Structure 1
């Protein structure tokens, strides 16, 4: 019993450290979330320069997900994850020197490579392989909740450091160094915790060739696997709805004149609180009640679509502000719970575990693609349709994505029914 318990302890320690990494690896790339004005004041950056850096990094991330379809199963997680975290650390050290804008752009490109090409798909692969088929919903749900908690704590610590040093340039530098140090330490710890990927090579002489062949074969196999495409498209639909919840704050301001004092509170609950609550709830219902992440996604799409459609055309002028806040938070909670488990169906559709890295990379590329254009689509709708009418169209479009999600989830459930029966 002792070896089994030791293995179980190591599994959860490894999982916990992965969560720590997932909660910190994007902090430097999204430094603007907490330090937008200090970046302008002390690094001499304009709105356009910060926006351009984010756009270029997003483009690199897109191509990074494509490259990771090959890399994630080619390079062992014992190398890939520590390398990504230590790479983030080094980029943070460079960023703390307040470099020129050209160097700033290069740093943001490198941050995207480390986070999205090296870390994220490999982390998803590792989480899947750490859990059994029956644990997938919980593993991904707890991971999302833990990531939200770590994200919040690390951000507040960095803000505390910045404030303690008088909100000066040196305070910003210290906060950046803190953001760099945390993933660096986690990367070193992960190197000793993670086991190397299992080798399938027959001889040492052919090791390099066979690894390349296996990686390419895995990538091709993933691209040809219909079930991976189906799961990826389902993630795409969830993320398309997720992009729309960003506009709840301006909507509440437009429809209910949301007081400025409530904007910050609402934002914290919507961005962090619901992530921490929705993740475990979605995972537990998926595993313990419905015994199927895909069935849970179908239920989530149904609830989200119905409430969105109703919310769009409610008589908002007759409702109180708290009604609008509560309904919008219910929608967000549903979406966050779906987002927490949308990678979990990979086991349910019997994706071979040896191509997990390629499958997760492909799903990340397809699934997160709405982030590259849906904000622009929703924004253009709001710009071209003044007042509540624009938001009604946006919420209707989100409801249509939810409807498509119901149909696709139903098809996937029917496709895997012989497996899950």
Structure 2
């Protein structure tokens, strides 16, 4: 999820030299494996919500608290992870996160109590969002030139979707094979844990740090605080961060399409699972490359694409809200919600690409990603609580319509933010051309 640029002034964001084809795509595949496996344990509720209740003895509120603690710790440590990514080899950071998460998964398989689980989910955030994620973003940025950032991050999102699908169905297979009871749930957790550990070892053995550009000036390693201050003083970084924030807060609302179709349109139970797989996995696989292609080949700019994608969400949301409820309009409602999700996933595939467009220096890109992640992913701490409270206070279709109106309004705000970001990118390009 991020970028680079070529120029001659020291302040410019100079990318690492472009890798040879085979080596670059090999490194990319290794990074995709890491990014597609690290979050399965923290998001185990996606496939095993009911077993969490039955076998871990958790109620809905307690599961929500586990997710909130994970998100709060992750948000607090993104910047720390960025500093680490600028100072420690990604070849060590990424495996440390994966193997650490796997070890925690082994502990979860012992079915500890609620208190220890709170600590465990906080520790999972350290492994994924502090050790791994900023390092992975920085590594992906190294792999492509300025004109390839949308494509690289779009393919990253798609690749993660493929790995997500394979690993999730693998865990479901283990769960079913072992009887779909507590033994099956324990086996599924261990499956996730073993996958993390194996991928961590593979990353350590197969990943190599990007070669240095011999023509680039040698720079001393900046101190942590100085790196944070250097990145934080860049206004363009904050505009990228807020743009990511706006995409992510709308993305959080996708969670409610399944209950909306179930309770308002009477979607049969047999279709709920298929719709969920398409909405969460299929569209991630399709949306990432779509956003990358449109960014690089049509709009020639990630910021421009994000602006128009935000705008495109508004009429789709209007269709979802205005469709009359009932079985007769079930299919159009499914199509409309899937279209909305597809646009969002295409935006998620490229929303880190503007980091190169706005000229973030390579030497602080890890810290910049940490700061941007802190801001951009912050909605995970509160959006679900707000959306859920609205639905509880407004039963039936009315509550969902309020949520969707809010999502459309946020998309409008996002279009305004992306417009400012586009102007910053235009000024950056003009300045680079004049230098």
Task: Indicate whether the TM-score tops 0.5.
Answer: yes
Structure 2's unaligned 5+ residue stretches are 1-16, 214-218, 431-435
1:134 counterpart = 2:147: yes
Counterparts of 1:383 and 1:43, CA distance in 2: 26
Matched, 1:241 2:241: no
Which deviates the most, 363-372 or 379-388?
379-388
1:381 to 1:48, Cα distance in 2 relative to 1, 3 A:
closer
Q: Is the 1:78–1:197 Cα contact (8 Å) retained in structure 2?
A: no
1:356-371 correspondence runs (5 A): 356-371=365-380
1:246: Cα distance to partner? 1.5
Offset, 1:96: 2.5
Distance 1:46 1:375, change over 3 A: closer
Look up the SS of the partner of 2:170 in the other structure.
helix
CA distance in 1, matches of 2:319, 2:51: 41
When structure 1 is superposed on structure 2, of 310-319 and 182-191 the one drifting more is 310-319
RCO higher in structure (CA 8 A, sep ≥6): 2
Q: Distance in 1 between matches of 2:53 and 2:324?
A: 42
Q: Is the 8 A contact 1:40 1:46 kept in 2?
A: yes
Match of 1:71 in 2: 84
Q: 2:323 touches 2:333 (CA, 8 Å); kept in 1?
A: no
Task: Give 1:176 shift.
Answer: 2.0
1:6 Cα shift? Answer: 8.4
Is 1:262 paired with 2:264?
no
Aligned length: 409
1:10–1:193 CA contact under 8 A, matched in 2: no
Runs of 5+ consecutive residues of structure 1 not aligned to the other structure: 201-206
Deviation at 1:390?
A: 2.3
Please, which moves more after superposition, 406-415 or 337-346? 406-415
Counterpart position of 1:410: 419
| Matching residue within 107, 111, 135 for 2:120 | 107
1:169 corresponds to: 182
Which stretch shows the higher mean deviation, 256-265 or 165-174?
165-174
- Residue in structure 1 matched with residue 358 of structure 2 by the alignment: 349
Is 2:258 aligned against 1:220?
no
What value does the CA root-mean-square deviation take over the aligned residues?
2.4
Q: Are the counterparts in 2 of residues 76 and 197 from structure 1 also a CA contact under 8 Å?
A: no
**Pair 1:397 & 2:406 matched:** yes
1:318/1:19 Cα in 2 relative to 1: closer, same or farther (>3 Å)?
closer
**Rounded Cα–Cα distance in structure 2 between residues aligned with 1:254 and 1:168:** 28
For 2:75 and 2:426, locate their aligned partners in 1 and report how far apart those are by CA, in whole Å: 33
1:312 to 317, 321, 328: 321
Deviations 1:343-397 (A, max 9, x none): 1110111111111111111111111111111122222222223333322222221
Deviation at 1:222, TM superposition (A): 1.2
| Structure 1 residue 331: Cα displacement | 0.8
How much has 1:82 moved relative to structure 2? 1.2
With over 3 angstroms needed to count, the CA separation of the structure-2 counterparts of 1:130 and 1:259, relative to structure 1, is same
Q: Answer yes or no: is the 8 Å Cα contact 2:175–2:185 preserved in 1.
A: yes
Q: Distance in 2 between matches of 1:382 and 1:336?
A: 24
Mapped to 2, the partners of 1:95 and 1:119 lie a distance apart of 20
Matches of 1:407 and 1:35, distance apart in 2: 39
Which residue does 1:303 correspond to in 2? Answer: 312
Identify the match of residue 120 of structure 1 among 125, 133, 140: 133
SS in 1 for 2:366: helix
| 2:211 corresponds to 1:189 | no
Relative to structure 1, is the Cα distance of residues 306 and 219 closer, same or farther in structure 2, using a 3 angstrom cutoff?
Answer: same
TM-score, normalization by structure 1: 0.90
Distance 1:333 1:224, change over 3 A: same
Q: 2:262 aligns with which of 232, 253, 264?
A: 253
Partner of residue 330 from structure 1, selected from 328, 339, 342:
339
Mapped partners of 2:75, 2:427: distance in 1: 35
2:49 aligns with one of 16, 33, 36: 36
For the residues of structure 2 that align with 1:43 and 1:396, how far apart are their CA atoms? Answer: 36
SS at match of 2:264: helix
Is 1:80–2:93 an aligned residue pair?
yes
Partner residue in 2 for 1:148: 161
